[in-house]
Amino acid sequence: MDSSIYLFKKTRQIKKIMEATIDFKGIELDITFDYQPAEAAVYYYSDGSGYPGCPAEVTILDVSHKGECFSELLLDYIDELEELILEEMAYYE
């Protein structure tokens, strides 16, 4: 696979909106995305209930190349781009 992530930069803490520059199939893309980290399962709260947890999630908000929006052109690759970002985020956690 010819893809690598060059840069991660947290831009807004509250919504966890982040930016990354990714070399994807030989093209450098600037991606803005929402990142929700994984939540651990809680088997039992004091009231007997629990929480199953949830996996980390990435939602791509914008994809651009040299300032031009490429989001619509890359719709078929959004899942692949999100998976690349999730893999990289797991590395940093």
Tell me the pairing of strands 17-24 and 57-65. unpaired
Domain count, the chain: 1
Structure tokens that stand for 38 in this block: 């994984």
Nearest-angstrom CA–CA distance, 44 and 41 = 9
pLDDT in tens, 47-72: 888 888 888 899 999 999 999 999 99
Give 66 or 3, the one with higher predicted confidence: 66
| pTM greater than the 0.75 cutoff | no
Domain around 26: 3-92
For the chain, what is the mean pLDDT? 82
CA 46 to mean position of chain CA atoms = 34
